Structure 1
Amino acid sequence: MGRLLAGLLVTCLALTLGACATRSGEWGDEEYTIASGGSTGVYFAYGTAVADAVSSARTVDLVAEQTAGSVDNLLRVSAGEALLGFAQGDAAADAVAGTGAFAEPQDVTAVARLYDEYLQVVVRGDSPVHDLADLAGMTVSLGAENSGVNVIAGRVLDAAGVDAASIRDPQLDLGASIAAMAEGEIDGFFWVGGLPTPGIAQLARTADVRLLPIEQEWVNEVNDRYSHAYRPADVPAGTYGLAAAVTTLAVPNYLVTAGSTPAGVVRDVLATLFDARTALAQQVPAAALLDRRSAIFTGPVPLHPGAQEYYRDLRG
């Protein structure tokens, strides 16, 4: 039934957009990819929906590809291995500056600011862990290698005075973390994603889970040390069955592309994103958060020239 509904939504997108949408002459005939994270996260769901919408509206071959996450996505985009990618704002800032996980500046520009992601430190409901300091000596995934999750986990633990080396970290992606938690193989895991993250929501339907609080002073310290990409936030009560809101941090999420991507391609992608926003949100709730007024605020990551043209035309 789920596949049938998804197919109907894609058909509706094609009917809605296909009659009036054309593509610029700057697309080629090859298959393009969106670097989209693990299969149980918001990135992959969003990437799949966007790929279907753009492919239908512009008569191109665009597909979502599973990856390790933000750092991996940025490297693929910069190397020309992916046309588009999703990335946390902090990781994208590091990529542009050539710091952190990046040995040198990457060829990365922003297409749009999409929505905010939330740090979620997940433990079982009956766990003795109630604070980040309690994680010492525990088996906790701090995110897959080359993921934005791993970047934030290290920074927050440091700000909280917790030695990451004291944690047994199997470096699992979200899907593997959820499976390991369900089997009792790990004590918890870090994740950064939209609310609700589908895989965690599924886990919460079969197991009692909690989120550990992230204190505002830690958020302030991380901002002072790095790119000021973070803000204090709350995971609302009711999310994953939580009885009360939990303090955490949020970081903006960008759709990125290489600076060398043709301007017409970027304009086509943006036009489809905004035209299909309502239909996309039926598949991925985070798509409803795309807003023309905030989409341009991607600093310190520069907007791609094609994106600048698109937003300028909207104002004109």
Structure 2
Amino acid sequence: MTGPTHAPATVSRRALLRAGLAGAAFGATGCTGSAPPPRLVIAGGVRPGVYIALAKALAEIWQERLRLPAHPEVLTTAGSTQNMQLLTSGGATVAISQVDVAADIATGVTGPGAPLALARLYDDVTHLVVRRDSRFRTLDDLRGARVSIGPAGSGYQPIALRLLEVAGFGADGLGERAELGLGDAISGLRANRIDAFFWSGGVPTDGIRALAAELPIRLLDLGAVLDRMRERFPVYSVGTVPANTYGLPGPVSCLSVRNVLLVTAGMDDATAHALIDAAFDEQPRLARTSPAAVTIDSRSAIGTQPVPLHPGAIEFYRSTKGY
């Protein structure tokens, strides 16, 4: 994507993270216990994007509420796939990811590095953005077109590839395939270097909203392929982008995917409980980071399937919500 990417943490950092996690038996408020809380490294996302904004807000909340000895580090990454790679390799202690990517990468991972969820956050929708004055109206119209499917490491490149496959022509049926981050894709569409780009993000996504303010755009309606997509990949849902979101000609049917907040099985229960407790106690603060984050709600937070909840998160929901 547009920001620098980060390789998985070095061996020395991993050792420090493990040591911190092993000794982080502190109470749910972060104010009790003799051992210090762990060093937190949060795998965020691209700039501009909801992931990175949420990661920064969570870092501030956890620093203040849990009185961490060091401010959490927030990593700028390509997105879900890289975030999950960082989490499972020990390069991050917390990650935000689309649930489809998280489930795929979690398959077969066992032991302390196995990903577990703290909460469902909000839902992303897949944007397929074109210029409004272009000839493109449906996904099928992209045969032979210049299209950015998103960079390797992002969560939305797999969605783009799956949609193109379900549409019947795949990425090979494109005229030119680019793997641009959001910022470069926006610049490419503005300069007419590409015809369309995929993006999966909260509604609205600030970068696309800024583009729509200077260049009339259209989101391609995905209704013709959504049933087939969900039949093959049940993890996805159907959503709608309202017309007023980006000044669109009308509402658009789109693909929806849940985003989840994750840690690993190696995190002790008290730490996991404290993280999610502080996050939901400051939900209005999270909501101010982006309109997409307004929907973050502890009542729907347990919906992380097929990724299981961390035992510390389960205890939080049972003790506070009666689940």
> TM-score interval w.r.t. the shorter chain?
0.7 to 0.9
Pairwise mapping of residues 234-253 of structure 1 onto structure 2 (< 5 A)?
Answer: 234-253=240-259
Q: Measure the CA separation in 2 of the matches of 1:51 and 1:164.
A: 38
Pairwise mapping of residues 113-152 of structure 1 onto structure 2 (< 5 A)?
Answer: 113-152=120-159
Structure 2 SS opposite 1:241: coil
Q: Measure the CA separation in 2 of the matches of 1:294 and 1:142.
A: 30
Pairwise mapping of residues 162-177 of structure 1 onto structure 2 (< 5 A)?
Answer: 162-167=169-174, 168-177=176-185
In structure 1, runs of 5+ residues without a counterpart are 1-19, 99-103
Structure 2 SS opposite 1:283: coil
Q: Measure the CA separation in 2 of the matches of 1:271 and 1:181.
A: 42
Q: Measure the CA separation in 2 of the matches of 1:252 and 1:240.
A: 21
TM-score by length of structure 1 reads 0.86
* Aligned counterpart, 1:13: none
| Matching residue within 286, 289, 296 for 1:280 | 286
| Matching residue within 292, 311, 318 for 1:312 | 318
* Aligned counterpart, 1:108: 115
* Aligned counterpart, 2:16: none
Could you tell me whether the CA contact under 8 Å between 2:37 and 2:271 is conserved in 1? no
Could you tell me whether the CA contact under 8 Å between 2:87 and 2:264 is conserved in 1? yes
Pairwise mapping of residues 129-208 of structure 1 onto structure 2 (< 5 A)?
Answer: 129-167=136-174, 168-208=176-216
Q: Measure the CA separation in 1 of the matches of 2:83 and 2:51.
A: 11
Structure 2 SS opposite 1:81: coil
* Aligned counterpart, 1:65: 75
Could you tell me whether the CA contact under 8 Å between 2:30 and 2:37 is conserved in 1? no
Q: Measure the CA separation in 2 of the matches of 1:157 and 1:190.
A: 11
TM-score by length of structure 2 reads 0.84
Could you tell me whether the CA contact under 8 Å between 1:85 and 1:255 is conserved in 2? yes
Could you tell me whether the CA contact under 8 Å between 1:26 and 1:264 is conserved in 2? no
Percent identity between the two aligned chains: 38
* Aligned counterpart, 2:86: 76
* Aligned counterpart, 1:4: none
Change (3 A) 1:23 1:90: farther
Could you tell me whether the CA contact under 8 Å between 2:98 and 2:258 is conserved in 1? yes
Change (3 A) 1:93 1:125: same
Number of residues of Structure 1 aligned to a counterpart in Structure 2: 290
Could you tell me whether the CA contact under 8 Å between 2:55 and 2:74 is conserved in 1? yes
* Aligned counterpart, 2:275: 269
Structure 1 SS opposite 2:101: helix
Structure 2 SS opposite 1:184: coil
Whichever residue aligns with residue 192 of structure 1, its letter is: S
Offset of 1:115 from its aligned partner? Answer: 0.9
Offset of 1:191 from its aligned partner? Answer: 0.5
Aligned-residue Cα RMSD (Å) equals 2.0
In structure 2, runs of 5+ residues without a counterpart are 1-27
| Matching residue within 92, 97, 101 for 1:87 | 97
Offset of 1:27 from its aligned partner? Answer: 7.2
Is 2:304 the counterpart of 1:298? yes
| Matching residue within 219, 222, 227 for 1:214 | 222
**Deviation by residue 1:17-64 (Cα, 9 ceiling, x = unmatched):** xxx953464975764221111011111111111111111221222132
Structure 2 SS opposite 1:301: coil
Could you tell me whether the CA contact under 8 Å between 2:125 and 2:254 is conserved in 1? yes
Structure 1 SS opposite 2:299: coil
Whichever residue aligns with residue 41 of structure 1, its letter is: G
Change (3 A) 1:27 1:48: farther
* Aligned counterpart, 2:17: none
